[in-house]
């Protein structure tokens, strides 16, 4: 359950931003989470309810955008998406690739405040 | 009861999502959107980068050892300290939720060791490593082994500032574990298949496991070894030497 720790540091940033912008309320929080980030979105949602309690972000809507993994084949210079699974086989030459272009994101994308 | 044919169009229950209550005090009354694009692990990532700079400035090779509990991290390090550690000065930071059992197992006159007990945390973080390093004498140390908390999920997300991430898979586990826990294997520079001396008796197919590792982690160097029989250990030591600063 490292999601609680990740969510509480995210909440620190959210509340600091809200304070810096003289907002009294956080309405929406948007996260971008890569499928290879090692973080479970459901556990993040659960953690959010816990860490938001009693803060200006309590009751805010939490949106999680999933970022699908994309890899690159160095031989074909081809970037390709991986719909499911984590074996990155180049669709052109079938080489197994390790170069990840996206999919590890753990990002606080934006917030809505008032 | 509505007729069955209508059930799909107008169910007997209703769901009304509640929108957040209006702000109690909203002097401006205006909703503003802020684009942040900030990493959720920003604090850890910054501390990890600081650790990395510190290790590099000292000419120290830091390895982060990650695996499930019981995959053989401590046994591997015991033998490594007893053999490789006699030629190259090594230090160990070892993380567990509780007890200093592993630090006591690893304690050697020629190798400084410190235990990090994380309490509740299921993984090490960069600041724990920074504080752990302060607790040991790094004079002359060329290789720092960081034995992470036994966990194949959470440590994947936390950079400790290591140069090399080593993931262990033991023959007492399933051959398909790399397929089940891809993030950690994806992040590995080195994968060690441990306890290979027991593979036959366990009915563990080393070839299948190796193929699975290579499919998930084609970037990783794979070594099959046994800290008990000694098989593969010299390859492991050579790898450490090849990864480290020239002085090793």
Q: What is the pLDDT of residues A41-70, one digit of tens each?
A: 999 999 999 999 999 999 999 999 999 999
Q: Test A107 with B40 for CB contact under 8 angstroms.
A: yes
- Tell me which chain B residues have a C-beta less than 8 angstroms from the C-beta of A73: none
Cite the DSSP H helix spans in chain B: 42-57, 73-82, 84-87, 101-106, 126-134, 177-180, 182-186, 199-202, 206-216, 233-243
Q: Cα–Cα distance between A69 and A75 in angstroms, integer? A: 19
pLDDT over threshold 60, residue A35:
yes
| CB proximity B119 to A under 8 Å | no
| Structural domain spans, chain B | 42-243
Name beta bridge partners: B111: B108
For tokens 């400084």, the residue is B112
Please say whether the beta carbons of A14 and A26 come within 8 A.
yes
DSSP letter at B122? S
Instruction: Let me know if domain B42-243 sits in CATH 3.30.420.280.
Output: no
* pLDDT for the residue numbered B7: 43
Say whether pLDDT at B22 is over 80.
no
Q: Please enumerate residues of A whose Cβ is less than 8 A from a Cβ of B.
A: 1-2, 5-6, 9-10, 13, 17, 21, 23-25, 27, 31, 36-39, 59-61, 86-88, 96-100, 106-114
* Per-residue pLDDT at B21: 58
> Over chain A, what is the mean pLDDT?
92
Using the predicted structure, report yes or no on whether residue A5 has a pLDDT greater than 70.
yes
If pLDDT is split at 50, 70 and 90, which confidence band does A2 have?
A: confident
Residue B51's pLDDT is what? 98
For chain B, what is the mean pLDDT? 90
Q: Which residues pair with B190 in a beta bridge?
A: B166, B221
User: What does the pLDDT read at residue B6?
Assistant: 46
Tell me the mean pLDDT in the region B113-123. Answer: 91
- Which of A86, A96, A112 would best serve as a mutation to test chain B binding (most B beta carbons within 10 A)? A86
| φ, ψ for residue B161, nearest 5 deg | 95, 10
Domain architecture of chain A: domains with CATH? 3-68+103-113 (3.30.2320.50)
List the single best residue of A87, A99, A103 to mutate versus B (max B Cβ within 10 A): A87
- Which of A40-49, B4-13, B225-234 has the highest mean predicted lDDT (pLDDT)? B225-234
């Amino acid at each position: 359950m490292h999601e609680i720790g990740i969510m509480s540091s995210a909440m620190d940033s959210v509340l600091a931003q809200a304070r810096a912008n003289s907002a009294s309320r956080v309405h929406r929080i948007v996260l971008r989470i890569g499928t290879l980030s090692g973080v479970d979105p459901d556990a993040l949602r659960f953690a959010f309810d816990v860490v938001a309690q009693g803060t200006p972000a309590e009751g805010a809507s939490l949106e999680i955008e999933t970022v699908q993994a994309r890899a690159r084949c160095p031989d074909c210079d081809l970037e390709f998406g991986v719909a499911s699974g984590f074996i990155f086989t180049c669709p052109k030459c079938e080489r197994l690739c390790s170069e990840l272009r996206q999919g590890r994101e753990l990002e606080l994308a934006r917030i809505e405040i008032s | 009861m509505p007729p069955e044919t209508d059930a799909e169009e107008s169910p007997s229950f209703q769901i009304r999502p509640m929108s957040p209550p209006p702000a109690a005090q909203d002097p401006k009354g205006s909703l503003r959107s802020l684009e942040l694009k900030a990493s959720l692990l920003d604090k850890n990532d910054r501390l990890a980068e600081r650790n990395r700079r510190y290790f590099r400035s000292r000419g120290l090779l830091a390895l982060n050892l990650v695996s499930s509990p019981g995959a053989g991290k401590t046994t591997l390090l015991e033998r490594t300290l007893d053999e490789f550690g006699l030629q190259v000065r090594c230090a160990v930071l070892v993380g567990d939720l509780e007890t200093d059992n592993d630090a006591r197992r690893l304690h050697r006159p020629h190798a400084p060791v410190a235990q990090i007990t994380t309490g509740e945390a299921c993984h090490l973080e960069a600041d724990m490593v920074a504080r752990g390093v302060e607790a040991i004498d790094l004079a002359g140390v060329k290789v720092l082994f960081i034995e992470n908390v036994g966990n194949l999920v959470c440590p994947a997300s936390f950079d400790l500032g290591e140069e090399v991430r080593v993931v262990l898979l033991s023959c007492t586990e399933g051959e398909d574990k790399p397929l089940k826990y891809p993030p950690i294997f994806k992040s590995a520079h080195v994968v060690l298949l441990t306890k290979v001396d027991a593979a036959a008796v366990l009915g563990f197919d080393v070839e299948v496991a190796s193929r699975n590792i290579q499919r998930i982690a084609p970037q990783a160097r794979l070594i099959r070894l046994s800290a008990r029989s000694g098989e593969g250990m010299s390859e492991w030591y050579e790898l450490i030497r090849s990864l480290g600063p020239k002085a090793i």
